[in-house]
Chain A
């Protein structure tokens, strides 16, 4: 089985791109399944179900969604094997921009959209910096110049990522993209023993453990303070 992890800011077009790509993969007779990771709510699973794609969703609730991803990915892989998939896709919303649910030696795709502003490539950090492929969406509604500037920002932030433009609505570019996702020779039976590409947030603070009171005396563990310069208190 092949495994590909998709990540990207909320509403960047991940599901739209995956759905269009699956059409092309289906034409090649490949069996594709999707697992969607999200935080509080998603109905992406219904969209996948509608086109007959085996799908599962996992909501992390009060946990960090990417922590939740790593703690569950092995079970998800086993589910994919059980379903006899040729390709298993995971979709996760990049909720805090700090994490990236990418695994070493597992294809990693970051989906970002042209509307999100030219500083987004820089803002989303690890999610973009550690991806193998970057898919840029929503090129149909911005100008050529904005597409060029955006793509050049992406290239500056992650110079060796392969950059592609896919239109999530019309599917333009999705056939081409689909040819890069499945590799005949790749066969993943487990992700046990594999490693994340980038560490998850470095440590815990008192608020991770349920603290709700505000004030210096309640702050324990790993605390970072904002630099307010002279105007600070």
Chain B
């Protein structure tokens, strides 16, 4: 790594050779580089007072910020030591101050955990504890361990890498870009290499999840609800830097939820799912019961419960068919799974 004096007196060209991503830094900082063989020091010598004002930072400050930027990016790129293999939640206390009664909850990557409990019961607090990698310093007093160890504080503040990615029914795309442009923008910010392939794969996977297919050139803001959800899930699975995904209820419209969960799990994510939909909940390996601000119980999905999944799905697809029939002006027909009521 350069020292401040070194970085001011090294040609831009040479710094870029070592850290290609800093071109982005110069662009966002609006530093007028006419000739990349110049050094920061030379650039600042020839800068007009108006340009100086637009940059805001002085030469020294720019050098300091650049060094910090390189440090952040190097850390961001250092994936090896960042792998989250498992996450443990050590008990704290509920709203009344009673100790939570479970011992230690460890969730491995590739596992799906449902979180259930009434509104206001403490689901958000649990999630916030995880995001903040709590170490007894939040209202619940819980501790979060990553790979069995006390978590690094870097998860708390980084502008780039967050521990938890979130997906909820309320989220919409807001940028005026096509699917392809948008994915490239995301891929760029992640500094990944084989950008084109990754973008192609996300579109392919999203189209496998979505009921109706969309093209790479479609505007993201014009996608249907199901298509947006599908794209968000595929993008989060493949391109998000976060090892943990929180899903806040996905509606069963225009998207194959089972495939969606498989995709996330296949990418080695830890999947937390806040849901009261029995089909989704049963797709989880375990479920956390939240009550009165604390974890009241952790239930393993039993074989008996799992065996209900088949009939639940049947009822679900029956309802979906009826919705489709309504939408297209057809007459509603009774499904024979209900023939037992005919007597």
List the interface of chain A (C-beta within 8 A of B): 27, 114-115, 117-118, 121-122, 125-126, 129-130, 134, 139-146, 148-149, 151-165, 170, 172-173, 175-176, 179, 198, 202, 224
> By the criterion CB–CB under 8 Å, are B132 and A141 in contact?
no
Task: Report which of A122, A154, A155, A175 forms a contact with B30, defined as CB distance below 8 A.
Answer: A122
> By the criterion CB–CB under 8 Å, are B239 and A160 in contact?
no
- Report B15-33 residues with CB < 8 Å from chain A CB: 24-25, 28-30
> By the criterion CB–CB under 8 Å, are B240 and A153 in contact?
no
B183 contact set on A, CB distance < 8 A: 145
Considering the chains assembled together, what is the distance between the CA atoms of A164 and B143 in angstroms? Answer: 20
Q: Does B81 contact A (CB under 8 A)?
A: no
CB distance from B196 to the nearest CB of A (A): 17
B175 contact set on A, CB distance < 8 A: 117-118, 146
Q: Does B99 contact A (CB under 8 A)?
A: no
> By the criterion CB–CB under 8 Å, are A159 and B128 in contact?
no
CB distance from B274 to the nearest CB of A (A): 13
Q: Does B323 contact A (CB under 8 A)?
A: no
A118 contact set on B, CB distance < 8 A: 175, 185
Task: Report which of A27, A159, A173, A202 forms a contact with B68, defined as CB distance below 8 A.
Answer: A159
A122 contact set on B, CB distance < 8 A: 28, 30
Considering the chains assembled together, what is the distance between the CA atoms of A167 and B197 in angstroms? Answer: 34
B309 contact set on A, CB distance < 8 A: none
Taking CB as reference atom, which chain B residue is nearest A199?
B53
Q: Does B69 contact A (CB under 8 A)?
A: yes
Mask: chain B, 200-239; 1 = CB below 8 Å from A; 0 = not: 0000000000000000000000000000100010011001
CB distance from B74 to the nearest CB of A (A): 12
Q: Does B156 contact A (CB under 8 A)?
A: yes
16 of the cross-chain contacts (CB-CB < 8 Å) are A125-B54, A125-B56, A143-B173, A146-B175, A148-B160, A148-B189, A148-B241, A152-B159, A155-B160, A159-B69, A160-B65, A173-B131, A175-B128, A176-B131, A179-B137, A224-B50
- Report B112-162 residues with CB < 8 Å from chain A CB: 124, 127-128, 131-132, 137-139, 156-160, 162
B165 contact set on A, CB distance < 8 A: 144
CB distance from B187 to the nearest CB of A (A): 10
Task: Report which of A129, A134, A148 forms a contact with B57, defined as CB distance below 8 A.
Answer: A129
- Chain B binding surface SS class: helix
A115 contact set on B, CB distance < 8 A: 174
- Report B46-105 residues with CB < 8 Å from chain A CB: 49-50, 53-54, 56-57, 64-66, 68-69, 71-72
A179 contact set on B, CB distance < 8 A: 137
Given contacts A129-B56, A144-B166, A146-B174, contact A163 B72 (CB under 8 A): no
A173 contact set on B, CB distance < 8 A: 128, 131
CB distance from A138 to the nearest CB of B (A): 9
Give the one of B49, B138, B157 with max A CB within 10 A: B157
Considering the chains assembled together, what is the distance between the CA atoms of A27 and B138 in angstroms? Answer: 12
> By the criterion CB–CB under 8 Å, are B174 and A156 in contact?
no
- Besides the known contacts A121-B28, A141-B170, 17 further A-B residue pairs in the complex with CB atoms under 8 A apart: A125-B56, A141-B171, A141-B174, A143-B173, A144-B165, A144-B242, A148-B241, A149-B189, A153-B28, A159-B65, A165-B162, A172-B124, A172-B127, A173-B128, A173-B131, A176-B132, A202-B49
Given contacts A121-B28, A156-B69, contact A151 B173 (CB under 8 A): no
Task: Report which of A117, A126, A145 forms a contact with B186, defined as CB distance below 8 A.
Answer: A145
Taking CB as reference atom, which chain B residue is nearest A156?
B28
> By the criterion CB–CB under 8 Å, are A155 and B53 in contact?
no
B132 contact set on A, CB distance < 8 A: 176
Given contacts A144-B232, A149-B189, contact A154 B174 (CB under 8 A): no
Taking CB as reference atom, which chain A residue is nearest B156?
A176
Considering the chains assembled together, what is the distance between the CA atoms of A173 and B170 in angstroms? Answer: 18
Q: Does B182 contact A (CB under 8 A)?
A: yes
> By the criterion CB–CB under 8 Å, are A141 and B236 in contact?
no
Taking CB as reference atom, which chain B residue is nearest A117?
B175
CB distance from B276 to the nearest CB of A (A): 18
Give the one of A125, A149, A154, A170 with max B CB within 10 A: A149
> By the criterion CB–CB under 8 Å, are B69 and A155 in contact?
yes
B128 contact set on A, CB distance < 8 A: 172-173, 175-176
Given contacts A141-B170, A155-B159, A198-B56, contact A160 B68 (CB under 8 A): yes
> By the criterion CB–CB under 8 Å, are B160 and A149 in contact?
no
CB distance from B48 to the nearest CB of A (A): 11
Give the one of B170, B171, B182 with max A CB within 10 A: B171
Taking CB as reference atom, which chain B residue is nearest A114?
B174
A170 contact set on B, CB distance < 8 A: 124
